[in-house]
Amino acid sequence: MTREAAGVPGDDDGDSVVYDLDADCTADDVERNQPYLAEINGIVDYGVFVDLSESVSGLVHESVLEGTYAVGDELVVELETVRDNGDLAFEPADIDVEGDEYTVEGISHDYTLTGTNRLESSIGEQIHVEGEVVQVKQTGGPTIFHITDEFGVVPCAAFEEAGVRAYPQVEVGDVVRVTGTPEHREGSVQIEVDGLSKLEGEIAEEARERLDTALEERAEPHDVDSLIDWPAFEKLRPNLEEVATLLRRTVLEGRPIRVRHHADGDGMCAAVPVQIALERFIADVHEDENAPQHLIKRLPAKAPFYEMEDATRDLNFALEDREKHGQQLPLLLMLDNGSTAEDVPAYEALTHYDIPIVAIDHHHPDPDAVGDLLDAHVNPYLHDEDYRITTGMLCVELARMIYPDITDELRHVPAVAGLSDRSKADALDDYIELAADEGYDEDRLQDVSEALDYAAFWLRYNSGDQLIQDLLQIDSDDEQRHRELISFFANRAREEVDEQLDAAMSHLEHEDLDNGAHLYRIDVENYAHRFTYPAPGKTTGEIHDRKIEETGDPVITVGYGPDFAVLRSDGVRLDIPQMVSELEDEVPGGGVSGGGHLVVGSIKFVKGKREDVIDALVEKMEEAEIDEALSSAAPIDDD
């Protein structure tokens, strides 16, 4: 900047440089024999007081002054001396503000930044932190800014007055510099803010570039070897690594994560390891010890797709959290669910907001329907594999990529997932052997599977975090309690299944289809206990298993109610998603929808068209080819 005035010459070159300190500069930024732009803030008999920045002030003694001055006048000064008590004394520089032509050059404070990884060693000392604002929460007292830098996230408390928003110009997403003092607050480290400024221009760009580079490096997933040697899984590894990177980056950016999963054994074997891995990573990243419980929520979903009811609830909670707590909108992580056209309406509801969606699933997908709505999609069918690679198997590896220290607690979980979903993957034997090394024989694994299914039914829409962790024996070292708990839940499950089938089996209808398969039908609405365990899907599956064992032949089992049917098939080459698509056209006004795996699924329809839908369904089953290779290979989805 150039100022011109007449009458007083400047330097021989005709132009002088005067330095203008930024507001946050300190006395350490002032050098001798350099001219600084100052503003007069007070006049006394013995001189004038001047400000060079918010924290740099001093006296210009009347003995070195000429003329008269007023508060607010500009004066160019040089440092004369620093007194023993730290006070600064200045004298006028050989430049006349009103007469010289000079250029003003800004001076930024040379900060020594402290990373959030060094706060503990800086307790009680004033420090400077630069980072991005990821949350702004107004309390009844201070405003809490959550700031992320290259190393982690720290809460910073700034007080204007009780309940009043401090630094209202600063919002989520801004890059800021915080000056303050780290202190212990309720078991966490918090910075008590002395000053907070929003960075602008090149300084902000440089800071953001530095932060982005560091976050990219920290978001990289851990390079872990698979628990077993399984070529089919390796096809999906790159996709899982992309998801691990996205989830770690989400944690580093302070964005919440909402996990939705199918409420069955495989769904819980998928969701719980990922939940715990993320909680531990969040605890490492965030100074706030309560961050894990605020930033990740796991919720089961009864339907085999993302229902609008769940989506609107999730969206409402997210918007409320943003309003009340200043949180960013969450990332939605769909597990053992979320790959089909039935998910589209719920996904589309979220597209009106900044909510990334990730799906990891092994149900038969409809990539054309969901592809543009998902930020990442992992599914074995997308790599010429199928449902035998269960979501639980995939997510145990994902959890290890996020937080590898969890590995020893998860070695038995893929076997539980496989047995829960009746996977016939060649690798299941290897997983069972791996679990045996951890003290889990196959009977114990089956008990865990039954116990999870039983607990999921009674938990309904509750995550049951601690109970499910105890049943899976993750983050729990009470071996005796685990065995007793598993035995109790598994035995209760089997007893109630036996009671259900004792009532239902005599009402089973049998038909020999022209293709050689046995067809069994049961009206689960009228001939099975309602609102108790097992649910209609589980009841149908248990009947199906008994008939397979009894006949040794290809079997199809249909459990139906007023407006739904649950299908199970072994040894018959069905394509249930395709059948559903055809029924939509062939039964006008039937309101047909549904899907699932190729040989396991569920169908919904309007009550008045039940007979038409079931009859058309049986015709398609009768036309299906017999395939012994599929015998006893069907997964179980207990919808």
Q: What is the mean pLDDT of residues 278-284?
A: 97
Query: Confidence class of residue 25 from pLDDT cuts 50, 70 and 90?
Result: confident
**Whether residue 622 has pLDDT greater than 70:** yes
Helix or strand (DSSP H, E) at 468: helix 465-472
**Average pLDDT value for residue range 79-90:** 93
Q: Which CATH class is domain 2-107?
A: mainly beta
Task: Note whether 258 and 331 are within 8 A (CB).
Answer: yes
Whole-number average pLDDT of the chain:
91
- Give residue-wise pLDDT tens across range 450-468: 999 999 999 988 999 999 9
Residue matched to tokens 């902000």: 204
Quick one: pLDDT band at residue 8, thresholds 50, 70, 90? very low
Residue 627 pLDDT exceeds 90: no
pLDDT at 170 over 70: yes
The burial class, CB within 10 Å (0-12 / 13-18 / 19+), for 356 is: middle
When pLDDT is averaged across residues 22-50 and rounded to a whole number, the result is 92
In the prediction, which pLDDT does 575 show?
Answer: 84
Specify the range with the lowest mean pLDDT, choosing from 107-116, 439-448, 579-588.
Answer: 107-116
3-state helix, strand, coil in the chain (%, to 5): 40, 25, 35
Helices 413-420 and 265-285: angle between axes, nearest 10 degrees: 150
CB 507 within 8 A of CB 525: no
Task: Kindly state the percentage of the chain with pLDDT values over 70.
Answer: 95
Residue 54 is predicted with a pLDDT of 87
In sequence order, the β-bridge partners of residue 44 are 47
pLDDT at 359 over 60: yes
pLDDT digits (tens, 9 = 90+) for 106-142: 887 777 899 999 999 999 999 999 999 999 999 999 9
Which amino acid, 332? L
CATH class, 508-630 region: alpha beta
Residue 101 pLDDT greater than 80, yes or no: no
Distances (CA, A) of 443 to 436, 439, 457, 488, 547: 10, 11, 21, 14, 22
pLDDT greater than 70 at residue 11: no
What residues does each domain of the chain span? 2-107, 116-218, 220-488, 508-630
- The end-to-end CA distance of the chain, in Å, is 73
**pLDDT band per the 50, 70, 90 thresholds, residue 635:** low
Superfamily of domain 116-218: Nucleic acid-binding proteins (2.40.50.140)
Positive or negative torsion for Cα 577, 578, 581, 584: negative
Using CA atoms, how far apart are residues 251 and 255, in angstroms rounded to an integer?
6
Cβ atoms 469, 475 nearer than 8 A:
yes
Give the pair of three-digit tokens for residue 581: 């698509």
In the chain, the amino acid numbered 402 is I
Measure the CA–CA gap between 522 and 540, rounded to whole angstroms.
Answer: 8
Q: 2-107 and 220-488 share one CATH topology? A: no
- The candidate with the shortest Cα–Cα distance to 637, out of 593, 594, 601, is 601
What is the structure's pLDDT at 561? Answer: 94
Q: What is the distance of C-alpha 230 from the center of its chain?
A: 28
For 299-318, write each residue's pLDDT tens digit: 999 888 899 999 999 999 99
Share above pLDDT 90 across residues of the chain, in percent, rounded to a whole number: 78
Q: What is the pLDDT of residue 639?
A: 54
The pLDDT value recorded for residue 628 is 58
CB 530 within 8 A of CB 571: no
Average pLDDT score over residue span 565-577: 88
Residue 637 has a pLDDT of: 55
Whether 58 shows a pLDDT value over 90: the answer reads: yes
| Local structure of 146: helix, strand or coil | strand
Looking at residues 360-376, what average pLDDT do you find? 94
Alpha carbon distance 511, 528 (integer Å): 20
Cis before residue 168, ω within 30 degrees of 0? no
Digit-coded pLDDT (tens) for 470-511:
999 997 778 899 999 999 999 999 999 999 999 999 999 999
Strand order of the β-sheet with 564-570 is 509-512, 518-523, 555-560, 564-570, 600-604, 593-596
Tell me yes or no: is domain 220-488 CATH 3.90.1640.30: yes
